[in-house]
Structure 1
Amino acid sequence: MEAHLLLTNAHMRCDSYGTGSQVKLPGKSAGEPKVFKFGIPYAKMYETLAGEDAAYFTANGILNLTRRGASVKESATRWQDTSSETVASHDVVLAFEERIFDAVIEDLQTRDPGEFKPVLVICLDTKDNPAEAAKAGLTALEMCWRIEKCEDLLSEAGDIIEEFGEQKMKESSVKILYQICYL
């Protein structure tokens, strides 16, 4: 959501999706996440968590996360439930975890191809916590600015990502993966 917010504020078209079977937020223990169905409004998630233990979920940042989510969009959307037409309207897909990158690639490879349009899928592997999400959001914005400037995404993507990755490896340990899929 951090990247979604930054990209939207930079006037870039942006949608965000989850790839799991449900929305999982950290609970009071690692073995007991707070689980919500896709489509449940972020405002309802906030209300539920605040009613359960507002102090705890404020301290761990989850209430802020759901509030920010509600300011960006109504509810979480599942990637695999999104129509191929909508998916094909994206030129670039950013994932922030390798397992999500893999799920997106797998999904794209199993969909029936339409016009055989290229979709660039990039992974900026990021630890799932607020501080790292903030850094990854800025990294995503910087990468998208570079991609926006290219004249031919298909032929320039590899060079842009390789150069960007080399620069980012000097600044942080961000791992960047990418693949071009066709839909």
Structure 2
Amino acid sequence: MHSHQVPQIGTVKVNTDAALFEHSNCFSFAMVARDHEGTMLEAASSCRPGSLHPELAEIIGIREALSWIKNKNWSSTVVESDCLGAIQAIRCSSINLSYLGRVVDECRKLLDDLESRNVSLKFVKRSANMVAHYLARYSSSIADRSWDREKVHPDLLHVLLDDLKE
């Protein structure tokens, strides 16, 4: 069984993940966009100050991925996360007045805004989210970054190629 599934032709897959770094009181998130051949279109990561609940960090990562997608001209996108709780919180219709709830509401609004562009959320196992996982962990040592297929960091290329071999 493949841990990495490529999307249908015409669909972009965006994997997102977050990481917490307690020693430096910060968290990071990353997103990786790939086409139906598994080719990386673009990747981005960011590290922010703050000590958050892991689920909140994941939801912030999803929100940032949705904002990122809003600025692209992709016609169909699947956003994948290995945090089931984050996906369920966004899909659930109950109103939550906590900070987590505000971020969830922002995700729902972005999804509504992107409805005509066929954007969906999907839960995947960690094994199917390794590139975003690696990038989120790697981001603690670098400032906000983005890469495109011409400027892939050698370490990231190694992880991308391993992911496709599975």
Q: TM-score, normalised by structure 1?
A: 0.34
Structure of higher RCO (CA pairs closer than 8 Å, 6+ residues apart)? 2
If each structure's strand is expressed as a fraction of its own residues, which one has the higher value?
Answer: 2
If each structure's helix is expressed as a fraction of its own residues, which one has the higher value?
Answer: 1
Name which one, 1 or 2, has greater alpha-carbon Rg: 1
